[in-house]
C-alpha cells in the first residue's frame, strides 16, 4: 500500500476482521481513548491476547489517521498480504476438481463495489477472483472494510494482461461467460455446473471489447422491471448464486 490511507484499516468490523483472519499483517491497533463501546473493548482484549500492540489515542488523532474513512473509534496499521500470484491459478482450478468458479472483474473502479463483489464471492465459495492492475480499484483499506473480511479469505489475483489470463483459464478447461444486458441467453438457461468463470464489466461502460470477445459466451440477468441494468456488485451476487443454485452447493 502506497498512500497513508492505504496503510491503515479503519472501522470496527474491518479491524476485528483483520485480527481474526489476517493477524500476521496487523502491526498496531489504535483505539479511541475513553470509548465505552463494548466492541472496542473486545478488540482491545483480542489484540492484547494475540500480542498486538494497542494504544488508546484521542478521537482527533484517529480522524487524521483514517483520512476520511469512518473509523468508529478503531484503526489498525496494516501490512496487507501479497496478492495471489497468477502462477497459482492452475493449481487452484485443478484443486476445484471440475467445479472451479472464477470471478473476473474487468475494471471495477469503485472500491466499495469491489469490496461488495469480494464479499459475494467469498459467500459463494469462489475459487479465485481476477482483477486487472490498471484502470481498476486496488485492494485497499476501503475494499477490505466493505468486503467484511472477504478480501483476506479468498485468492485475489491482480494481473497485467486480463485477456491473456482469460485465455489461460480457457486452456485450463474453464468456460468464460460474460454478463451482458443485450445477450440472448439468460443465466438461468446456461449450464454453470462445470469449470466456469463469470466475467463482469466495470461501472458505466461494462466489459471492454477485447474482454467481451475473449468470452466463450454472453449471458444476461432477466429483469422484468423497467430498470436497464444492475449495479455491478448486485449483478455479481445474482450471477454467482445462480451458479451455486445450479450446483446444489447450498448447505
Residue 216 pLDDT: 97
Q: Provide the mean pLDDT of the chain.
A: 89
Task: For residue 160, give the DSSP letter.
Answer: S
pLDDT higher than 70, residue 2: no
Mean of pLDDT values over 208-237: 90
What per-residue confidence (pLDDT) applies to 1? 35
Any idea where the domains of the chain sit in the sequence?
5-78, 86-247
- The answer to whether domain 86-247 has CATH 3.40.1280.10 is yes
| Cα 136 to Cα 145: distance, rounded to the nearest angstrom | 17
The CATH superfamily label for domain 5-78 reads: Ribosomal protein L30/S12 (3.30.1330.30)
Q: How far, rounded to the nearest angstrom, does the alpha carbon of residue 134 sit from its chain's CA centroid?
A: 16
Who has greater pLDDT, 224 or 228? Answer: 224
Count helices and strands in the chain by DSSP H and E runs: 9, 11
Locus of grid cell 469462489: 126
65-84 average pLDDT score: 81
Is 221 annotated to bind a ligand? Reply is: yes
The answer to whether the annotation marks 176 as part of a ligand binding site is no
Residue pair 160/185 in contact by the 8 Å Cβ criterion: no
Q: What is the per-residue pLDDT across 186-221, written as a single tens digit (0 to 9) for each?
A: 999 999 999 999 999 988 788 999 999 999 999 999
Does the annotation list 201 as a binding residue? yes
Q: Which of 174, 192, 170, 169 is nearest to 238 (CA)?
A: 192
Distance CA 226, CA 204 (A): 18
Looking up cell 451458479 gives 243
Q: What percent of the chain has pLDDT over 70?
A: 93
**Choice between 143 and 39, residue whose per-residue pLDDT is larger:** 39
Number of alpha carbons in the 13 Å side-chain half-sphere of residue 38: 0
165 — phi, psi (to 5°)?
-65, -40
**With contact defined as beta carbons under 8 Å apart, do 108 and 232 qualify?**
yes
pLDDT in tens, 24-69: 778 999 999 999 999 999 999 999 999 999 999 999 999 998 877 7
Only one residue has cell 482527533, namely 60
Per-residue model confidence (pLDDT) at position 3: 41
Amino acid at each position: 500500500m502506497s498512500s497513508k490511507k492505504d496503510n491503515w484499516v479503519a472501522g470496527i468490523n474491518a479491524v476485528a476482521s483483520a485480527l481474526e483472519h489476517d493477524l500476521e499483517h496487523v502491526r498496531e491497533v489504535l483505539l479511541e481513548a475513553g470509548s465505552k463501546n463494548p466492541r472496542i473493548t473486545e478488540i482491545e482484549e483480542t489484540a492484547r491476547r494475540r500480542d498486538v500492540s494497542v494504544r488508546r489515542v484521542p478521537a482527533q488523532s484517529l480522524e487524521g489517521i483514517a483520512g476520511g474513512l469512518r473509523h468508529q473509534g478503531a484503526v489498525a496499521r496494516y501490512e496487507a498480504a501479497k496478492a495471489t500470484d497468477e502462477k497459482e491459478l492452475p493449481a487452484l482450478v485443478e484443486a476445484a476438481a471440475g467445479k472451479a468458479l472464477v470471478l473476473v472483474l474487468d475494471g471495477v473502479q469503485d472500491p466499495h463495489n469491489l469490496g461488495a463483489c469480494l464479499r459475494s464471492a467469498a459467500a459463494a465459495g469462489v475459487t479465485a477472483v481476477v482483477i486487472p492492475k490498471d484502470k481498476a480499484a486496488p485492494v485497499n483499506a476501503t475494499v477490505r472494510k466493505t468486503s467484511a473480511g472477504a478480501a483476506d479469505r479468498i485468492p485475489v489475483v491482480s494481473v497485467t494482461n486480463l485477456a491473456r489470463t482469460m485465455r489461460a483459464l480457457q486452456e485450463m478447461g474453464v468456460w468464460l461467460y460474460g454478463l451482458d444486458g443485450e445477450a440472448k441467453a439468460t443465466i438461468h438457461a446456461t449450464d454453470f455446473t462445470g469449470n466456469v468463470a463469470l466475467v463482469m464489466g466495470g461501472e458505466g461502460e461494462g466489459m471492454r471489447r477485447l474482454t467481451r470477445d475473449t468470452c466463450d459466451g454472453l449471458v444476461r440477468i432477466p429483469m422484468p422491471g423497467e430498470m436497464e441494468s444492475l449495479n455491478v456488485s448486485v449483478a455479481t451476487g445474482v450471477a454467482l448464486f445462480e451458479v451455486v443454485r445450479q450446483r446444489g452447493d447450498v448447505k
